[in-house]
Structure 1
Amino acid sequence: MTTTLFDTAPDFDQPVAVLKHCHDRIRKQLKTMDMLASPAVLAATPDEVRQAAAAVLRYFEKAAPQHHEDEEHDLLPMLADTARGEDAALLARLTPEVLDEHHQMEQLWQRLQPQLAAIAAGQSSTLDGTDAAAFGELYLRHMDKEESHIAPMAKRLFSPSQMQRLGNAMRSRRGIALPEES
């Protein structure tokens, strides 16, 4: 049995698995944010607090927006082109909700970002627990919706070429070279 020492991400040849991996990373960042907004933060050193805030900032300023773009610009439109019948009806109901939740997350992030930046810079040690909780709860409900409905639909409906197209779009968005044809 081989044990890995770090969490490896799936390859973009499995784009739905990459999206799920992103959700797992979001959950870790939300836990860190919860700790920064809780009395538990008092047990950490100032350096640990700054590093934790900086890690949350890095993730939600770069990776999370890319993840939302993956969904908004590629995954959901590809599903809309593919889904039929009950799948199409479900997608028509869920897509506006998903897009609205992305917008709500962005609004909450605009309140959290300066607080986390101040903590990362050592200028503050306070993160608004109400904002952090609202952000976390919204994200958790959102990810559950995607993992329960959107991702399984994509796995079931997408052909191998559609999966490849989705994975390549995700690679491109991150500046990762496309695999060479063999």
Structure 2
Amino acid sequence: MTTLFDSAPGFDQPIAVLKHCHDRIRKQIATLDKLLTHLPVHGADQDARQAAQAVLKYFTQAAPLHHEDEEMDLLPALETTATQEDAVLLKQLLPEIMKQHLQMTAQWSNLEKQLRQIQEGSSAQLSALDIRHFSDMYLHHMELEETHIAPMAKRILSDVQMQRLGAAMRARRGISPDTP
């Protein structure tokens, strides 16, 4: 049966959940780009305020959980499991991934202030440069993870490790194991 909407993967597929998060980040970045063209014409109208609210909600609630999934569970599991070439690659990538998380968080604080003003209707100003920096950082970061980290995880983590990862991600979000 075909559904009318895309459903998120379950936590029994934690790497697919992380990829789904990346897809949602791409949608929020697209919304930021749309806001750049919308605001000069329409100002902080209802559509702009709703768009700002959606982006704010995602990057203040879901994105930090996604980073915690990686930092607290996925990357440590990979570190304890990786051998040979995987261990060498991971040793190279981990500092970069952690640095990127910090940089994206710092860049988000610039955008968050602007988006809150748009959400409140008190400003229609949004920095194209701030959005470009934020977008470029996130897109590069997601490419790195999707090219190297996710395939490695699928290849080397055991079923038990994947179950632990999914359970930790579910718990972090306060979702009961009984919830489908």
Is TM > 0.5 for Structure 1 vs Structure 2?
Answer: yes
- C-alpha separation in 1, matches of 2:26 and 2:3: 20
Give a deviation string over 1:32-69, Cα, whole Å, max 9, x none. 011112x3442688100000000000000000000000
> What residue in structure 1 maps to residue 94 of structure 2?
95
**TM-score, normalised with respect to structure 1:** 0.94
Does residue 30 in structure 1 map to residue 29 in structure 2?
yes
Match of 2:9? Answer: 10
Which residue of structure 2 lines up, in the alignment, with residue 19 of structure 1?
Answer: 18
Aligned match of 1:145: 144
Q: 2:124 maps to what in 1?
A: 125
Aligned to 2:69: 70
For the residues of structure 1 that align with 2:164 and 2:178, how far apart are their CA atoms? 12
Q: Output one character per residue of 1:102-149: Cα deviation in whole Å (capped at 9) or x when no partner.
A: 000011011110100000111111111100110001000000000000
String of CA shifts for 1:141-177, please: whole Å, max 9, x gaps: 0000000000000000011100000000000000011
Return the letter of the residue paired with 1:53.
A
SS in 2 for 1:149: helix
Specify the alignment match of 1:56 in structure 2: 55
Paired letter, 1:100: K
Deviation at residue 3 of structure 1 after TM alignment: 3.0
CA RMSD of aligned residues (A): 1.4
The 5 A counterparts of 1:34-49 are 34-37=33-36, 39-41=37-39, 42=41, 46-49=45-48
Comparing 41-50 and 153-162, the one that deviates more: 41-50
Which consecutive unaligned segments of at least 5 residues does structure 1 have?
none
1:4 Cα deviation from its structure 2 partner: 2.1
Query: How far 1:179 moved relative to its partner?
Result: 4.2
Q: Secondary structure at the match of 2:105?
A: helix
Q: Distance in 1 between matches of 2:174 and 2:159?
A: 22
Once the two structures are aligned, what percentage of the paired residues are identical? 57
| Deviation readout 1:70-107 (Å, 9 max, x if unpaired) | 00000000000000000000001001100000000011
CA–CA distance in 1 between the matches of 2:93 and 2:77?
14
Give the alignment's TM-score, normalised by structure 2. 0.95
Q: Kindly report structure 1 stretches of 4+ aligned residues shifted beyond 6 Å.
A: none
SS at match of 2:3: coil
